[in-house]
Amino acid sequence: GQNIDQPTEMTATEGAIVQINCTYQTSGFNGLFWYQQHAGEAPTFLSYNVLDGLEEKGRFSSFLSRSKGYSYLLLKELQMKDSASYLCAVRGPGGYQKVTFGTGTKLQVIP
């Protein structure tokens, strides 16, 4: 099975940098995703990591350490519109490669 842990809530200031952590325990690993979900809306894909290291995409970066079962999402130059929940999801092994979602971290950006 898979178990994913994320902080429930975080608060950060507009213009600052915030790091959202995700730890996982899995019987097999085939990639980690980060999704953004605004309240009442659908999740949207942010990033994918399958190898160790940092993937940068504009203001957002995602890091993975497979040996530590650890990932983080880094958001720079925070904007008010970044207030949302951030979902960490891990893909398992096998033909279907099932994706298991964490409960999400609700980020509030304040002026």
Residue 29 lies near other proteins (rule: CB under 8 A): no
Contacts of 56 (CB under 8 A, 6+ apart): none
Considering beta carbons, is residue 46 or 74 the nearer one to other proteins? 46
Query: What is the rounded CA–CA span in Å between residue 84 and residue 41?
Result: 10
Query: What is the rounded CA–CA span in Å between residue 49 and residue 103?
Result: 19
Residue 22 lies near other proteins (rule: CB under 8 A): no
Q: Which of 18, 87, 107, 109 is close enough to bind other proteins by CB under 8 A?
A: 87
Residue 98 lies near other proteins (rule: CB under 8 A): yes
Contact window for other proteins (CB under 8 A) among 14-22, 54-62, 74-82, 96-104 = 96-104
Q: How far is CA 63 from CA 8, 40, 79, 88, in A?
A: 19, 27, 21, 12
Name the strand (E) or helix (H) holding 48.
strand 44-49
Q: Which of 44, 65, 79, 108 is close enough to bind other proteins by CB under 8 A?
A: 44
Residue 107 lies near other proteins (rule: CB under 8 A): no
